[in-house]
């Protein structure tokens, strides 16, 4: 059974199958690759009799998303029975905007975010911000506003918090929206996804007041 990162290793369904694998993307979507080893060690310690593997880890994608890609494929072919379709990838000087997905909700450009030297911003990681007393208060209020807070731990299990520690605040908000779609009551995911640009910048302004 393949499990995604946001699923806590202590959930009962982890023990249903004979073999378990995880889709982790440390160092790609958030965090860094050094987080893989400690996570695996913790799983082995907690469940020494359950075989564990890594079903997805994101490293191969780096060959696609570089200025010097290695694969070199320029033709995509899809075949299903008698149906056949082809598409070709061609380098152009100017991107065709018709192919760009128009995202709903708040979309911030990196340069929209003020980041004074020595102070926090939305571009800092959750781990760094929450290790600061004032920064932790801002993050807990953010969890509360999303309806995520529970009696303990801000509503986050330890596995989820470890994963989020390597994410920037912007990435975390996006991840919480995805998680809520899978686990929360109706309306909570929409509440997260509807965070406006003005609200995000207001959070950034608060973080800009907190010294690292």
The answer to whether 106 and 196 have CB atoms below 8 angstroms apart is yes
What average pLDDT does the structure give for the chain? 77
Alpha-carbon span 12 to 4, nearest angstrom: 15
Q: What is the mean pLDDT of residues 188-208?
A: 74
The SS3 assignment for 7 reads coil
pLDDT at 120: 96
Answer yes or no: is pLDDT of 105 > 70. no
Q: How far is CA 149 from CA 90, 125, 140, 182, 184, in A?
A: 47, 19, 8, 17, 12
Q: What is the mean pLDDT of residues 105-112?
A: 66
Reference 135, options 104, 157, 168, 106; nearest CA is: 168
Alpha-carbon span 81 to 101, nearest angstrom: 30
pLDDT at 43: 93
The DSSP code for 92 is -
pTM over 0.85: no
* E strand intervals along 34-180: 52-56, 75-80, 83-88
Reference 22, options 162, 201, 184, 117; nearest CA is: 162
Answer yes or no: is pLDDT of 91 > 80. no
pLDDT digit string, tens, across residues 109-167: 777 788 899 999 998 999 999 999 999 999 888 888 766 544 334 455 666 677 778 88
pLDDT at 143: 80
pLDDT at 6: 80
Answer yes or no: is pLDDT of 104 > 80. no
Q: Which helix (H) or strand (E) holds 3?
A: strand 2-4
């Amino acid at each position: 059974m393949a499990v995604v990162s946001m699923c806590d290793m202590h959930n009962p369904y982890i023990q249903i199958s004979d073999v378990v694998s995880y889709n982790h993307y440390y160092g790609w979507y958030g965090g860094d690759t050094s987080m893989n080893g400690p996570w695996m060690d913790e799983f082995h310690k907690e469940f020494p009799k359950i075989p564990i593997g890594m079903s997805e880890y994101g490293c191969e994608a780096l060959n696609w998303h570089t200025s010097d890609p290695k694969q070199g494929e320029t033709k995509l072919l899809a075949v299903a029975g008698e149906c056949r379709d082809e598409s070709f990838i061609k380098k152009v000087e100017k991107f065709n905007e018709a192919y760009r997905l128009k995202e709903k909700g708040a979309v911030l450009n990196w340069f929209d975010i003020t980041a004074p030297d020595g102070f926090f911003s939305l571009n800092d990681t959750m781990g760094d911000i929450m290790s600061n007393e004032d920064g932790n208060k801002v993050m807990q209020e953010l969890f509360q506003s999303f309806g995520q807070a529970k009696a303990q731990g801000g509503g986050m299990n330890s596995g989820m918090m470890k994963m989020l520690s390597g994410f920037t605040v912007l990435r975390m908000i996006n991840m919480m929206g995805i998680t809520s779609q899978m686990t929360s009551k109706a309306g909570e995911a929409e509440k997260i996804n509807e965070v406006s640009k003005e609200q995000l910048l207001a959070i950034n302004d608060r973080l800009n007041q907190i010294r690292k």
